[in-house]
Amino acid sequence: MCNPDQAAPVLYSTFMEEKNESGRYHGIDALRAFAMILGIFLHASIVYKVNPLPVWPADPGSALPLFDYLYFFIHTFRMPLFFLVAGFFCRLLLVKAGIRGFIHRRWERIGIPFLVSLVLILPFTVFPFLVYQQIPVFGNDWMGNFRNAFRQLIGWNGLAHLWFLYYMIIYYVGFVMIVLIARHKTVAPVTRRLSDWWVGSKYQALYLGILGVAGTWLLLVAQSHLLVPVYTGLFPSPVHLLFYFFFMWLGWLIHIQPAIFNTLQKNGVILLIAGIGLSVPGYLTELREATGQPFFMDLIYAKGLLSLQIVFLVAGFAGVFLRYFSERSQVWRYLSDAAYWLYLLHMGIVTSLQVAFLYLDLHPVIEFFLITGITLLLTMLSYHFWVRYTRIGVYLHGPRTLGKTPRKIVKK
């Protein structure tokens, strides 16, 4: 990874032709929006899992194995896919804006929203969880539930879903340091040769696939669980940090040689089908871990199959979106802009509805779609009227002018 401003020439493929005069990559924008909005469906499913998660609302009377599988399926690929896309855009911005511009833009887009969300969104997110924890103590005494939940808001309750912003900040610092080291005169020749080899190789897609599967497997083996669990504290383990950093680095490598996306476009459907197929034995293995049953196979081999599943799903979804969503779409452009805000706000709404729906006697599938539908409606309305054309929107995605095409910001 040499100095991105002096990196080896990039071979612009047919994939790169999707970039139009606005400087947008529509397929990747749609892919990023898909990964973030999918989080709403992921979190809405948890309350109806047969094997509930700690601290989350649970409704054992409405639990269905369908939601355990849905959670497992989405959880295996969503964040690796998101961080892969983030790595692609990380290098793109470094090449375009340089280190100073990169730091400035990431501070506006990630740093400030993270700090503001800690104060304004995190309490709203955590409060329903705290209310739910009081129900075994106070029952239907909601004043008692709310009063004690407010008291617990004063203490530390974790980062909740904001953990991904925290990780992103750590990763951005890491990539800037790597670039600065790569610029040093004693290191630059080595990194330049590696970059030249990567660009000049004929089998980048194959190498990337092997690297992706092997690296994912090694990181899964390095921790005790089948999957890397979500950690919302301030001091994640090295495996937690390395796992998502690895996928971000893969995205960085793809930006160096974007012709890899041509292979994904051609084979995306096949890879996606293969990943879905592998998710069945993967889910059965995860189910046995959750219920304390012995595995079908040695855990090392089970993690090998899971690594294939993760990489196939990430590559498959990337290929499908690059193939079928590469044309400019006003709907996906709008969703791409809105997705960041939807993810920041959705958690408190989802968990509040989950707690409220504990007292309804509806079929869990109906409740699931009600929760996701209401959450999408409320977050989209709040985005359109309170975010998109306001100062908040400027920080989340840049300025948008009502009734006009978003204007491109030219940094001097």
Rg value, the chain, Cα = 22
Q: Which of 126, 188, 179, 181 is nearest to 154 (CA)?
A: 126
Q: What is the pLDDT of residue 10?
A: 34
Q: Is the pLDDT of residue 363 over 50?
A: yes
> How far apart are alpha carbons 23 and 10 in whole angstroms?
16
Q: What is the pLDDT of residue 404?
A: 54
Q: Which of 34, 72, 37, 74 is nearest to 53 (CA)?
A: 72
Q: What is the pLDDT of residue 365?
A: 97
Query: 267 and 323 in contact (C-beta within 8 Å)?
Result: no
Q: Which residues contact 109 (CB under 8 A, 6 or more apart)?
A: 395, 396, 397
Query: What are the tens digits of pLDDT across the range 195-243?
Result: 888 887 788 899 999 999 999 999 999 998 899 999 999 999 999 999 9
Q: Which residues contact 117 (CB under 8 A, 6 or more apart)?
A: 162, 165, 344
Q: What is the pLDDT of residue 19?
A: 52
pLDDT band at 8 (very low <50, low <70, confident <90, very high): very low
> Which three-class secondary structure state does DSSP give residue 1?
coil
Query: What are the tens digits of pLDDT across the range 314-332?
Result: 999 999 999 999 888 899 9
pLDDT band at 13 (very low <50, low <70, confident <90, very high): very low
Query: 62 and 364 in contact (C-beta within 8 Å)?
Result: yes
* Single-letter amino acid code for the residue at 124: F
Q: What is the pLDDT of residue 411?
A: 43
> How far apart are alpha carbons 242 and 216 in whole angstroms?
10
Query: What are the tens digits of pLDDT across the range 102-144?
Result: 999 999 999 999 999 999 999 999 999 999 998 876 677 778 8
Token pair 């990380």 is at which residue? 90
Q: What is the pLDDT of residue 298?
A: 81
User: What integer is the mean pLDDT of 253-276?
Assistant: 93
Query: What are the tens digits of pLDDT across the range 148-203?
Result: 888 888 888 999 999 999 999 999 999 999 999 998 888 888 888 888 888 877 88
Query: What are the tens digits of pLDDT across the range 387-404?
Result: 999 999 999 999 988 765
- Quick check: pTM over 0.75? yes
Phi, psi at residue 321, to the nearest 5°? -70, -40
Q: Is the pLDDT of residue 81 over 60?
A: yes
DSSP for 40-109 reads HHHHHHGGG-SSPPTTS---GGG--HHHHHHHHHHHHHHHHHHHHHHHHHHHHHHHHHHHHHHHHHHIII
pLDDT band at 291 (very low <50, low <70, confident <90, very high): confident
Q: Is the pLDDT of residue 23 over 80?
A: no
Find the helix or strand (DSSP H, E) in which 160 lies: none
74 token code pair: 């989405």
Q: Which of 117, 81, 170, 73 is nearest to 343 (CA)?
A: 117
Residue 403, classified by CB atoms within 10 Å of its CB into exposed (0-12), middle (13-18) or buried (19+), is exposed
> How far apart are alpha carbons 377 and 341 in whole angstroms?
13
Token pair 């990023």 is at which residue? 32
- More confident of the two residues 80 and 143: 80
Q: Which of 376, 284, 378, 371 is nearest to 48 (CA)?
A: 371
Q: What is the pLDDT of residue 296?
A: 67
Q: What is the pLDDT of residue 94?
A: 95
Residue 412, classified by CB atoms within 10 Å of its CB into exposed (0-12), middle (13-18) or buried (19+), is exposed
- How far are the Cα atoms of 36, 39, 165, 227 from residue 242, in angstroms, in the given order? 21, 21, 15, 14
> How far apart are alpha carbons 35 and 255 in whole angstroms?
19
pLDDT band at 24 (very low <50, low <70, confident <90, very high): low
What's the longest Cα–Cα distance across the chain?
69
User: What integer is the mean pLDDT of 51-75?
Assistant: 94
184 token code pair: 């040093």
Q: What is the pLDDT of residue 403?
A: 63
Q: What is the pLDDT of residue 140?
A: 73
- More confident of the two residues 24 and 303: 303
Q: Which of 346, 342, 348 is nearest to 397 (CA)?
A: 342
- More confident of the two residues 411 and 358: 358
Q: Which of 203, 327, 185 is nearest to 260 (CA)?
A: 203
